[in-house]
Chains A and B, each alone.
Chain A
Amino acid sequence: MDYHINHLKELESESIFIMREVASQFEKPVLMFSGGKDSILMVHLAYKAFYPAKIPFPLLHVDTGHNFDETIEYRDNLVKKMGATLIVGSVQEAIDNGEATEEKGVNASRNALQTGVLLNSLEKGKFTAALGGARRDEEKARAKERFFSHRDEFGQWDPKNQRPELWNLFNGKHKMGEHFRIFPISNWTELDVWQYLAMEKVELPSLYYAHRRKVFERDGVLLADSPFIPKKEGETVFEEMVRCRTIGDITCTGVWRSEATTTEQIIEEVATTRMTERGGRTDDKRSESSMEDRKKLGYF
């Protein structure tokens, strides 16, 4: 008898194992929820890991205030469906309180401000583990990330001093004030995520499917027309069939020309595409090591 499971079921089993390990090893975990497909996948896997019990940790959304409307609507529906608890860390509130300062200029983004709000939210909730949907195939600094990633009392990542991870053995021991970032879907690629979501028939926010939207072009990237992004001289708004490959803050999430209106068409598109999904993220383009620098400071 030949026992084997396909690569998606094996990834699913691995992620479920990690989530149960977190629930066992940590007193107070929290799941970082951005509204993007990877965090939707995370919630889906967490649901399976603990069924028929409820997910034993709350969801944390760091809200920049500059969202696509569809994201918030989807988030609230999902939370209701899962019976989960939602915590919102607000960047707008941090700005109003004077804890954060808004960037100026046409490329202004609240992306960097998320780090402080995230760290504050983790501290306030006394969370000892924050589960995130980052994948190693996304970006070169993330290729070196562990499943269990240790953060010091300042929330910083030290890439040169990471704990080795062997077999199925994960060491989540930490001192007071330190915490862990946990990445259960580390081994998934963008294509795996789509294939799995198709196989599981998971419903996603409409933004991921091709739709007509008002957009404009900046530095070779299409951005959604929004009152949160002031336009430069000569930038004109036009309508286009587009979809998002990642969903983040509206000010730095590029949209792509696409005709893919179903998950199967998206899989086809992802399998043959010539650009990485973060190719549309202007936050990564700031310098060659911008992700590495942000991660060291405690960015998600």
Chain B
Amino acid sequence: MSKEYENSELLRFTTAGSVDDGKSTLIGRLLYDSKSIHQDQYEAVEAASQRRGEEGVNLALLTDGLRSEREQGITIDVAYRYFSTPKRKFIIADTPGHIQYTRNMVTGASTANVALVLIDARNGVVEQTKRHAIIASLLQIPHVVVCVNKMDLVDYSQEAYDKIQESFEKFAAKMDVKDVHFIPISALNGDNVVHRSDKTKWYEGPTLMYYLENVHIASDHNFIDARFPVQYVVRPYNDDFHDFRGYAGRVAGGVMKKGDKVTLLPSGFSTKIAKIHGPDGEQEEAFPPQSVNVELEEDFDLSRGDMIVRENNQPDITQDVELMLCWFRSDKALQLNGKYTIQHTTQTARCVVKEIRYKLDIETLHRDTENSEIKMNDIARVVLRTTKPLFVDSYRKNRITGSVILVDEATNNTVAAGMII
């Protein structure tokens, strides 16, 4: 007996934009038109709209979070929202457009399949649009949807829409964004969000919801290069499983099969996969993003931070890492020769900042080699030296084995995120 929901896929998307772009209204519209809003939530928003003296129900209020945000009328932090249709379950990482914008956008983008970039049809491509597109490109979000919003305020003009599409494409040509779609919408009136609009007859593409439900995300993971970072060693020490030693972790890339010949890093020893245990018992193969428990034919002293790979397909084993780094800390700049803790897959090491190559202007893509003061929300190309070898791929090849975070050793705060080049 198969039920509809048992075939439903998970899609994560991020929305970036300021309040003025109508981002909150768009999210409210998606939630409302997909019937994901409950009556008590709707009534609370209705009452809040009336208190604020607004005409009609302000769907943007559905995404209001903390009291301090309501008081200031802004969003401080990434908020996660959920809705589902029979086809897919959606997770929205809703990131604010102004305060700590880069930090929050980078956070939301790190796990997203799709980026929604909102453009106000009256204003066209502005600096903020460019910033969003650059972040989507840096973070390698597989799919980008440009929603040209507030079409109602430009009389649903095809000319206005075409002009925006053209200027975005011209800008995007300089970047590494793969799959871009454009949709003319009005979040306020619901045109082309969930329901097709009869006011944009010239537009033949899908509605936003149709796009989100159907965009091909099955190949968003890397299924080619087998990478299994050991996360935890399972040793039961009980009578039934006396000699059991399982290497637990989440497959970061490739497909691993029972019987596969594998190489262990950093030791370089070779052996075979004896068994793969999944959440439902033994399985023949494992692929991303599955969490499994692997038994090897021979016992080696493998521990957290080590990696299981294929003999003829190995990551770079290196102590010198070059990456694009996004700096998060507000009260202190990135220090040349500064030392930080670095986390990469399940490995933790220390690192020193050897070189700051340039600072990237995320509105013009200009590379500033003169200015090496990297402050909060800045993005820079840097070179790190680590205390022990990391097993890395380029971020372009694998978002999991190609990413790191830096942790400040005095405060324990996460102060930077990096994408390996």
Contact = CB atoms under 8 A, between A and B. Distances in A.
B231 A192 contact: no
Given A52-B241, A173-B341, A186 B38 contact: no
Interface string A27-58: 00000000000000000000011111110000
B279 A167 contact: no
A3 B218 contact: yes
Given A143-B80, A169-B405, A52 B290 contact: no
B80 A160 contact: no
B351 to A, nearest CB: 14
B77 interface: yes
A11 B91 CA distance: 11
A166 B6 contact: no
Contacts of B5: 6-8, 195, 267
B234 interface: yes
Contact of A144 (B6, B79, B111): B79
Contacts of B252: 168
Contacts of B15: none
Interface in B74-100: 76-82, 84, 88-89, 91
A53 B279 CA distance: 13
A144 B84 contact: no
B291 interface: yes
Nearest to B232: A20
A143 B79 CA distance: 5
Nearest to B235: A53
A17 interface: yes
B106 interface: yes
A21 B346 CA distance: 9
A186 B111 CA distance: 15
A54 B238 CA distance: 9
Interface residues of A, number: 63
B285 to A, nearest CB: 9
Interface string B1-33: 000011111100000000000000000000000
A227 B78 CA distance: 44
A276 interface: yes
Contacts of A169: 343-344, 403-405
Given A6-B9, A140-B64, A175-B412, A164 B107 contact: yes
Contact of B346 (A9, A24, A162, A276): A24
Contact of A136 (B80, B279, B289, B343): B80
Contacts of A82: none
A23 B277 contact: no
A174 B412 contact: yes
A171 B38 contact: no
Contact of B289 (A14, A23, A159, A289): A14
A79 interface: no
Contacts of A49: 248, 291
A85 to B, nearest CB: 15
Contacts of B238: 52-54
Contacts of A136: 80, 82
Most chain A beta carbons < 10 A, residue from B287, B346, B404, B414:
B414
B417 interface: yes
A24 B231 contact: yes
Contact of B8 (A7, A12, A143): A7
Contact of B7 (A6, A20, A21): A6
B218 A171 contact: no
B255 interface: yes
Interface stretch (B65-73, B141-149, B175-183, B360-368): B65-73
B250 interface: yes
Tier of interface size on chain B: 35 or more
B223 A3 contact: yes
A20 B248 contact: yes
B110 A167 contact: yes
A279 B5 CA distance: 25
B302 interface: no
B328 interface: yes
B77 A166 contact: no
Interface in A109-168: 136-137, 140-141, 143-144, 159-160, 162-168
Contacts of A3: 218, 221, 223, 255, 287
B218 A4 contact: yes
A137 B234 CA distance: 32
Interface in B207-225: 218, 221, 223
A29 to B, nearest CB: 12
Nearest to B216: A2
Nearest to A140: B65
A21 B231 contact: yes
B413 interface: yes
B89 A54 contact: no
B304 A24 contact: yes
B196 interface: no
Interface of B: 5-10, 38-41, 64-68, 76-82, 84, 88-89, 91, 103-104, 106-107, 110-111, 218, 221, 223, 231-232, 234-238, 240-241, 244, 246, 248-250, 252, 255, 277, 279, 287, 289-291, 293, 304, 328, 341, 343-346, 399-400, 403-405, 407, 412-414, 417
23 contacts: A3-B223, A6-B10, A7-B89, A10-B289, A17-B291, A20-B231, A21-B232, A49-B291, A140-B65, A144-B77, A164-B106, A166-B111, A167-B110, A167-B400, A171-B414, A186-B80, A187-B82, A187-B91, A195-B5, A199-B6, A274-B38, A275-B38, A279-B40
Given A14-B289, A169-B405, A275-B39, 13 more contacts: A3-B218, A16-B291, A53-B241, A137-B82, A141-B65, A143-B81, A144-B65, A159-B77, A168-B250, A168-B252, A275-B38, A289-B66, A292-B66
Q: Which 10 A-B pairs have the closest CB atoms?
A: A7-B10, A274-B39, A53-B236, A166-B110, A173-B412, A16-B291, A13-B291, A7-B89, A289-B67, A20-B232
Interface of A: 1-14, 16-17, 20-21, 23-24, 48-54, 136-137, 140-141, 143-144, 159-160, 162-169, 171, 173-175, 186-187, 189, 191-192, 195, 199, 267, 273-276, 279, 288-289, 292
